[in-house]
A and B are shown apart, each in its own frame.
Chain A
Amino acid sequence: MTGPGYNFAYLDEGTKRMIRRAILKGIAVPGYQVPFSAREMPMPYGWGTGGVQVTAACLLPEDRLKVIDQGADDTTNAVSIRRFFERTAHVATTTSTTAATVIQTRHRIPEHPLREGQILVFQVPIPEPLRFLEPRETETRRMHSLEEYGLMHVKLYEDIARHGTIATSYAYPVRVEGRYVMDPSPIPKFDNPRLSDCAAIQLFGAGREQRIYALPPHTQVVSLDFEDHPFDPGKAPHDCDLCGAVDSYLDEVITDDRGGRMFVCSDTDHCTCRRAAGHSGRLAAPLPAGRA
């Protein structure tokens, strides 16, 4: 406990029960946005309050928690959220994707495939995939209930007409089990294929917008596309300069003011594990002795 007055994992049991009900409903109706009464959390809206509430409702004392932001365990907000649960739940934490039982993420899905029994919790800013086509909640809920997704297809079509390609590179909309169109949170579309047939439970929490949705294990998730313009996950035409990975999502790091740049895995655990296993990229420095 952080001190007197706070329950395990911060939220009181009544609140956790309410959130778990919303999660169960979400799992029962994959891709459907379940309204829930999000609480004010001790971090601001937009910092992952939805994800934190979902994680708090899922955590058990024996869990091992991993928190990533932009794929990395050491970005400031990931550090802050990990510390929050260390303080309020005293759970073990880890940076290892394989060792974690619960992973809270912002903007990425770990490169290493998830396994049965793991829970991946996404932080979601705008849960409504139709929001930027139709700003009204009353209207978008009606569109979902009537499966009226023509507007979205028109938008994608207009992209192709204008740019020759679908000009959405992250938060790329998906269709879940042939029913609900869902926002996968602002993950790069590179990560979209990993949403489908995933062995872990994937939970999505939007605090400010008061919505939870879920993908139970092995749910079929299809990125929206057209027959003549099939979905292309895309990838920078580079390899990781540290671990040499040819198939991971890369961050571009500007190294000087003369156009110098390098590309490194956005998933820091993936990169570290590969380097520990002896893989090496173009600019890799030798690992410090005793590391890994």
Chain B
Amino acid sequence: MYVAVKGGERAIDNAHALLAEARRGDPGVAELTVAQIRAQLHLAVTRVMAEGSLHDPDLAALAIKQARGDLIEAIFLIRAYRTTLPRLGASQPIDTAAMRLMRRISATFKDVPGGQMLGPTFDYTHRLLDFRLAADGPGAVPPSDTPRAMAAAGPVPHVAALLERDDLIEGAPRDDTPPPDLTRMPMELPATRALRLQALARGDEGFLLSLAYSTQRGYGRTHAFVGELRIGWVDVAMEIPELGLAVTIGEVEVTECETVNQFLGSRGAPPRFTRGYGLTFGQTERKAIAMSLVDRALRWKELGEDGTGAPAQDEEFVLMHADNVQATGFLEHIKLPHYVDFQSELELLRRLRAETAAEPEAAE
């Protein structure tokens, strides 16, 4: 008899119980703590913070644990939490020149004021599995005299600012217009650059990586150099109306990338370098570099360049498909029952086939 899909209620409860069991895994193995995830899976934590648009390493670590390590699921958990938080106000713009640097490199100059600092990077490691890490125990402990902070005292100027002094790169005029809030307004197209950057900052790392890569391979080429990449901590200050002054209320870890791009000039504009910009929470340099390349590619109209129809130049295509929480939801929803629609297609198909069969051989 007709039993299909009955008992949905019990099925859901059972699925949730199985999920909890699978999350815990073998009870003979010690359970992961949120503190361990936060401390030892820092790059996963920062990706969840960046694409979840919420700087809270503890919650991001919790989300990773709850999501069984599925980072898009963890990002989704953070987004769904974040959206319920009240907006108490907006901070002042962060000053990335005053960043407490952990890493800072420029690919365009051998040395720059403030120095080059590799920081904790995979860049020059040999990708050989380190079996010592598989052995239980403390593993390789760094010598205690590893220098941690080599940063110059005081603000470190941006590399692009050095080029700007000689008018070799376009300016970055100060703009005090309050930026739109993508999480409080529907996306409006065409978008301002502020809105675009906001969407890219929340966008999926993999999607932006592939788009940026496509520009390097000629689909909307922008000849990008990493003018500067810096990672570190910046103060967040907020104007307190009762006090009449701005007070530092905390600090956030951010990655900032500024590309220097070739630009041959156009009608009325002399040749000079142009910029692409990326800023993301945490230590997320692949994402920040990709973001700055895509930002630059999207600026073609503003700079009077030719549209080549490349995907990375297509604002609507990029912005409408960059969000992985939206994308994964819509993609996976096709798992949900569709038997009403399918039934109507089935009936249509049967009718069309019956009509074809009834007709004499069509002369084609």
Give min CB distance, B66 to chain A, whole Å. 12
Q: Find chain A residues with CB under 8 A from B337 CB.
A: 69-70, 75-77
Give min CB distance, B103 to chain A, whole Å. 31
Q: Find chain A residues with CB under 8 A from B338 CB.
A: 70, 107, 186
Q: Find chain B residues with CB under 8 A from A249 CB.
A: 340
Give min CB distance, B332 to chain A, whole Å. 6
Contact present for A251 and B339 (CB under 8 Å)? yes
Give min CB distance, B267 to chain A, whole Å. 26
Say if the beta carbon of B6 comes within 8 Å of chain A.
yes
Say whether, besides A47-B329, A125-B330, A266 and B4 are in contact (CB < 8 Å). no
Interface residues of B in 348-364 (CB under 8 A from A): 348, 351-352, 355
Give min CB distance, A204 to chain B, whole Å. 15
Contact present for A45 and B329 (CB under 8 Å)? yes
Who on chain A is nearest to B10 by CB?
A79
Say if the beta carbon of B90 comes within 8 Å of chain A.
no
Q: Find chain B residues with CB under 8 A from A210 CB.
A: 186-187
Q: B174-195 CB contact bits vs A (8 Å, 1 = yes)?
A: 0000000001111111100000
Contact present for A44 and B8 (CB under 8 Å)? no
Say if the beta carbon of A189 comes within 8 Å of chain B.
yes
CA of A10 to CA of B184, assembled, Å: 17
Give min CB distance, B155 to chain A, whole Å. 36
Contact present for A251 and B340 (CB under 8 Å)? yes
Say if the beta carbon of B21 comes within 8 Å of chain A.
no
Give min CB distance, B352 to chain A, whole Å. 6
List the one stretch of A35-43, A55-63, A174-182 in contact with chain B: A35-43
Q: Find chain A residues with CB under 8 A from B344 CB.
A: 169-170, 188-190, 234
Contact present for A169 and B347 (CB under 8 Å)? yes
CA of A167 to CA of B341, assembled, Å: 13
Q: B317-357 CB contact bits vs A (8 Å, 1 = yes)?
A: 00010000110111111101111110111111001100100
CA of A186 to CA of B341, assembled, Å: 7
Q: Chain B: interface residue count, which band? A: 35 or more
Say if the beta carbon of B2 comes within 8 Å of chain A.
yes
Say if the beta carbon of A270 comes within 8 Å of chain B.
no
Say if the beta carbon of B153 comes within 8 Å of chain A.
no
Q: Which residue, of B12, B82, B320, B344, has the highest number of chain A Cβ atoms within 10 A? A: B344
Interface residues of B in 183-224 (CB under 8 A from A): 183-190
Give min CB distance, A236 to chain B, whole Å. 6
Say if the beta carbon of B140 comes within 8 Å of chain A.
no
Contact present for A74 and B5 (CB under 8 Å)? yes
Q: Which residue, of B316, B328, B334, B339, has the highest number of chain A Cβ atoms within 10 A? A: B339
Contact present for A70 and B4 (CB under 8 Å)? no
Who on chain A is nearest to B4 by CB?
A253
Interface of A is mostly: loop
Which of these, B8, B83, B345, contacts A74 with CB under 8 Å? B8
Say whether, besides A69-B337, A264-B2, A46 and B8 are in contact (CB < 8 Å). no
Give min CB distance, B10 to chain A, whole Å. 10
Say whether, besides A6-B84, A188-B340, A165 and B352 are in contact (CB < 8 Å). yes
Contact present for B5 and A46 (CB under 8 Å)? no
Q: Find chain B residues with CB under 8 A from A163 CB.
A: 352
Q: Find chain B residues with CB under 8 A from A40 CB.
A: 76, 79-80, 82-83, 183, 325
CA of A272 to CA of B285, assembled, Å: 59
Contact present for A266 and B348 (CB under 8 Å)? no
Q: Find chain A residues with CB under 8 A from B188 CB.
A: 35
Q: Find chain B residues with CB under 8 A from A266 CB.
A: 339-340, 343
Q: Which residue, of A41, A44, A49, has the highest number of chain B Cβ atoms within 10 A? A: A44
Say whether, besides A76-B5, A77-B336, A251-B343, A42 and B80 are in contact (CB < 8 Å). yes
Give min CB distance, B99 to chain A, whole Å. 29
Give min CB distance, A254 to chain B, whole Å. 9
Q: Find chain A residues with CB under 8 A from B346 CB.
A: 252
CA of A45 to CA of B326, assembled, Å: 6
Say if the beta carbon of A28 comes within 8 Å of chain B.
no
User: 9 closest Cβ contacts across the A-B interface?
Assistant: A46-B333, A45-B329, A44-B329, A169-B344, A35-B186, A188-B344, A210-B186, A40-B79, A76-B8
